[in-house]
Amino acid sequence: MIRIAVNGVAGQMGQVVRRHADDRDDVGVVLGISSGATAAVDVPVVPSGGRAAALESHAVDAVVDFSTHEALTALADDCAEAGVALVTGTTGLGADEQDTLDRASESVPVLHAPNFSRGIHALLGALTAALETLPGYDVEVLETHHNRKQDAPSGTAGRILETIAEVREFETVAGREGIQPREADEVGMLVRRAGDVRGEHEVLLADNAEVLTLTHRAEDRAVFAAGALDAAAWLVDREPGRYAFAELFEDG
Q: Write the pLDDT tens digit of every residue in 15-51.
A: 999 999 999 999 999 999 988 766 567 888 999 889 9
Rounded to whole angstroms, the Cα distance separating 35 from 225 reads: 21
Q: Write the pLDDT tens digit of every residue in 66-109.
A: 988 898 999 999 999 999 999 999 888 889 999 999 999 999 99
- Local confidence band at 235 (pLDDT 50, 70, 90 cut-offs): very high
Q: What is the CATH number of the domain that holds 65?
A: 3.40.50.720
Q: Write the pLDDT tens digit of every residue in 84-96.
A: 999 999 888 889 9
- Our answer to whether residue 112 is catalytic in this structure is no
Total number of domains in the chain:
2
Cβ neighbour number for residue 209 with a 10 Å cutoff? 5
- Our answer to whether residue 20 is catalytic in this structure is no
pTM of the model: 0.84
Q: What is the CATH number of the domain that holds 151?
A: 3.30.360.10
User: Annotated catalytic residue: which of 112, 145, 201, 216?
Assistant: 145
Rounded to whole angstroms, the Cα distance separating 55 from 63 reads: 9
Residue 11: predicted pLDDT: 87
Select from 224, 228, 230 the least CA-distant residue to 119.
Answer: 224
Q: Which domain holds residue 177?
A: 118-217
Same domain, 200 and 101: no
Same domain, 6 and 79: yes
Rounded to whole angstroms, the Cα distance separating 138 from 213 reads: 11
